Amino acid sequence: MKKALRFIRSMRFGILLLVLIALCSVVGSLIPQDKAVSWYAQNYGSLHGVILMLRLHRIFQSWYFIALLVLLCLNLTLCSLVRIVSVVRDRRRVVARTAALPDQVRLSAEGVQRLRRHLEDIRCRRETIGEAEVYRKNAVGRYGSFLIHLSILLVVLFGAAALYLPQVVDRTCLPGESVVMDDGTEISVDAFHIEDVTGRLDYSSRIRIRLPDGRNSEWVDIRVNHPLAFGSWKVYQQTYGTAGSVTVTNLADGGSDDFTLTDTALLSLDGASGLWYEAVYPDYLLDPSGNMTLVTSTTGRYEHPVYQVLLASDGNLRPILVFPGEELEAGGLRFRFNEPIEYPGLRIKRTPTVINALLIASFVLMLVGLYIAFFMPPVLIKTDAEGYAVGGLKPEGMRIKLDELLQEYRREE
């Protein structure tokens, strides 16, 4: 048992886990994830059985990948505990231990003086123990490695919570309408614009959140990178769409109504004659003989919108292309085609805000740990009348620096 525990907290096991996680990640990046089963059958032929059996198509959610992460957490926890215990226990002993080191480099009396002056210049603290003078600096550097390991553990834990705890739904909402969530929270969209006033692509929605307790957010413009957070809700500008807009007038009584159409629909009095709405296209191309080809848009701009509809009368369907401003009549109705309406697709997320705050605090802790570990290495140097020795956990850098310093002294002499 002791042997197993020692292995689980060992650096060797940690490295093994990291390598396995990296290998799974390579596979997960090369095999497209979360596609339909038929997609793998189509693209990988006979290999698709292996992919599905080993869950390589959902590798980051597979039991073995999650097991690797759990084992990494275990390794980090045990390794952090052992590390902090030994660092705290040894914090007083290191100075005495350094003072007891035999000289690694012999120096003349003048050399020792120059070295001591240099160490004082770089703001090392001096402690006299018997014959030896121990210079030390950056004691905090001893905690860097512990902080890094602890913060990685926290990032994995809070990261998993931030990934799996939130409720996320995607909704489209026409301007002037609202989306009501399960708890009664209401998200209203006032307007949506693809371009800003300068004509630059912007994809911005003006929205407001009303919580069930009656509290309202301000009306806020959200766009990519600028979501609205209110209460435990966060609303993102995610996608966009364009709906057809048709004013329908009953020729018999003169009554009219506006329809906003996002999907195919039949506008009819009797269910047979009238207008089949199919789609609205952003633009078209005309060839020299006057034939029109409808084109789609990647930006969402509708430069020259065209409606594609079917006129239904006497059991016949006649395809027609119509421009905004034009009118058609069928089945006792008049259809006036208006400029299309742009609408947003919103991503609505409910998340415990404390999780995000803890995750970001873990990020900061990790950066602090890395900075301390790499850029504030603890300095422990023992000097006596005949030379010096470098002690501590990471003596290498200081040894090289002092070697260079001595070479400089020798050149000067």
Partner 1 sequence: MRTLFIVTIILYAAAVILQFTGTAFKKERLLKLSWLVFLAAFAVHLLFTIVRGVAAKRIPLSNQFEFANAFAWGVALMLIVIRRRLKADWLSVAAMPMALLILTYAALQPMEIRDLMPALRSAWFGIHIGSAVLSYAAFVLAGSVGLRYVLLARRNGAEEESRLRQMDYLSYRLVAFGFLFLTVVILSGAIWAEQAWSAFWTWDPKEVWALITWIIYAVYLHLRLRGKRRGAAMAWYLVVAVPVVLFTFAGVNTLLPGLHSYG
Binding region for partner 1 (CB under 8 A): 11, 14-15, 18-19, 21-22, 25-26, 28-30, 33, 60, 159, 162-163, 166, 168, 200-203, 223-227, 234, 236, 238, 347, 349, 356, 359-360, 363, 366-367, 370-371, 374-375, 396-397, 400, 403
Cβ-contact 133, 383 below 8 angstroms = yes
In angstroms, the CA 234 to CA 231 distance is: 8
Compare residues 227 and 244 and give the one whose CB is closer to partner 1.
227
Tokens 């602090």 belong to residue: 368
User: CB of residue 362 vs partner 1: minimum separation in angstroms?
Assistant: 9
User: CB of residue 403 vs partner 1: minimum separation in angstroms?
Assistant: 7
Cβ-contact 332, 251 below 8 angstroms = yes
Which of 159, 74, 84, 161 is closest to 362 using CA atoms?
159
User: CB of residue 206 vs partner 1: minimum separation in angstroms?
Assistant: 16
Handedness of CA 334, 335, 338, 342 (dihedral sign): positive
Helix count (H) and strand count (E) of the chain? Answer: 10, 22
- Cα torsion through 21, 27, 29, 34, rounded to 10: -100
Compare residues 227 and 282 and give the one whose CB is closer to partner 1.
227
User: CB of residue 22 vs partner 1: minimum separation in angstroms?
Assistant: 4
> What would the DSSP string read from start to end of 133-201?
EEEEE-GGGGGHHHHHHHHHHHHHHHHHHHHHSSEEEEEE--TT-EEE-TTS-EEEEEEEEEE-TTS-E
Compare residues 282 and 369 and give the one whose CB is closer to partner 1.
369
In angstroms, the CA 160 to CA 152 distance is: 12
Handedness of CA 18, 20, 23, 27 (dihedral sign): negative
Compare residues 279 and 368 and give the one whose CB is closer to partner 1.
368
Compare residues 11 and 36 and give the one whose CB is closer to partner 1.
11
In angstroms, the CA 328 to CA 249 distance is: 11
User: CB of residue 283 vs partner 1: minimum separation in angstroms?
Assistant: 20
Which amino acid belongs to residue 147? L
Compare residues 219 and 374 and give the one whose CB is closer to partner 1.
374
User: CB of residue 200 vs partner 1: minimum separation in angstroms?
Assistant: 6
User: CB of residue 5 vs partner 1: minimum separation in angstroms?
Assistant: 19
> What would the DSSP string read from start to end of 317-338?
EEEEEE-TT-EEEETTEEEEE-
Compare residues 21 and 139 and give the one whose CB is closer to partner 1.
21
User: CB of residue 360 vs partner 1: minimum separation in angstroms?
Assistant: 7
Which amino acid belongs to residue 250? N
Which amino acid belongs to residue 144? G
In angstroms, the CA 403 to CA 5 distance is: 41
User: CB of residue 50 vs partner 1: minimum separation in angstroms?
Assistant: 21
User: CB of residue 344 vs partner 1: minimum separation in angstroms?
Assistant: 13
Compare residues 115 and 359 and give the one whose CB is closer to partner 1.
359
User: CB of residue 18 vs partner 1: minimum separation in angstroms?
Assistant: 5
Compare residues 261 and 366 and give the one whose CB is closer to partner 1.
366
Compare residues 147 and 248 and give the one whose CB is closer to partner 1.
147
The structure tokens listed for 47 are 């290999």
Which amino acid belongs to residue 339? E
Widest CA span in the chain: 115
Compare residues 15 and 317 and give the one whose CB is closer to partner 1.
15
Which amino acid belongs to residue 239? T
Which of 367, 328, 391, 329 is closest to 129 using CA atoms?
391
